[in-house]
A and B are shown apart, each in its own frame.
Chain A
Amino acid sequence: MNPILSFIVVLIGIYGLCTSKNLIKSIICLNIVQTAVILLFLNFANFSGSDIPIIFKNIENPTDPLPQALMITAIVIGASITALSLMLCIKIFHYYGTLNWKELIEREG
């Protein structure tokens, strides 16, 4: 069920990106899509019945640790991208006086 879950969450996130008028809500939707993709990658690395990749005496089939390392990097990069886009949000609010997509497009012409 897990890849299907990621697919559903990505679809809901893209729906939110298309329909939301609030800039902050759009950033939240981007974060949701990113989390779903991370979950998909971790699920691909996790074979059925495999163990946590920590070295014990005799571990038989460990999970692939490479996607996990990459996904930690993806989480950190996602947090920094969120901070950058929120800074741009503050600048946009002081420039136009609103955070509504429709009003912003009307002002810009």
Chain B
Amino acid sequence: MSLNTIGTLLQILMIIIVLVIIMSKDNLRIIVFFSVFSLITASLYFFNSAPDVALAEVAIGSAITPLIFIISISKQKDFIVINHSEDDFFDNDLDKIGHGYKFLHDFAKHYDLKLNIYHSNLDNISGIFRSRNVDLIIDKSPATGIYTLKGKESSTLMSKLEQMALEEPFIEIFKTSEGETYD
């Protein structure tokens, strides 16, 4: 098998892989096939007598770019909640699941999000600084006992959460407009 035959086979394989990428619906499968596509193009670069570009394509196109894609897909499902109330209303213990936790869990399950709740007491204050991209902050007013959920006004997820919270007596939604801080 000569070098020309291998080049022709690789070109045909490249067209097939591009068609597979266009046809498939699953995000992770698209990313894996894009990695394969980059490897095939890297070998085609080598057949076009450009080994330096082939090296750069192997490193960047087939390793770093799919890595960025996978990281961003796993990050975009995160829904970050910071809990300032100190009772077990939003706790998730094995024997007792809090009512507020169940509410947030139903919301996250309906929109296919990944719920992350950080409890920030005074001895555990580092949880606040862990992520700057906070979606929701929970406060409890000590007089009435009503839990206040603060979030951005612009987000569509917040208005959905407000509709769901109409049925809950102990939860109210407070939406801050752009430019205000949460606290």
Contact = CB atoms under 8 A, between A and B. Distances in A.
Main SS class of interface, A: helix
25 contacts: A1-B11, A5-B14, A9-B15, A9-B18, A12-B22, A15-B22, A16-B22, A24-B27, A28-B31, A29-B21, A31-B34, A35-B38, A35-B41, A39-B48, A42-B45, A50-B49, A75-B53, A75-B61, A76-B60, A79-B64, A82-B69, A90-B76, A94-B133, A94-B135, A95-B154
B51 interface: yes
By size class, the interface of chain A is: 35 or more
A87 B72 contact: yes
A95 B151 CA distance: 11
Nearest to A24: B27
B160 to A, nearest CB: 7
A45 B76 CA distance: 41
Nearest to B33: A28
Given A24-B73, A35-B41, A72-B53, A42 B48 contact: yes
Q: Say whether chain B's binding surface is mostly helix, strand, loop, or mixed.
A: helix
Contacts, number: 123
Given A16-B21, A35-B61, A52 B49 contact: yes
A11 to B, nearest CB: 10
B53 A86 contact: no
Interface in A57-109: 63, 68, 71-72, 75-76, 79, 82-83, 86-87, 89-90, 93-97, 99, 107
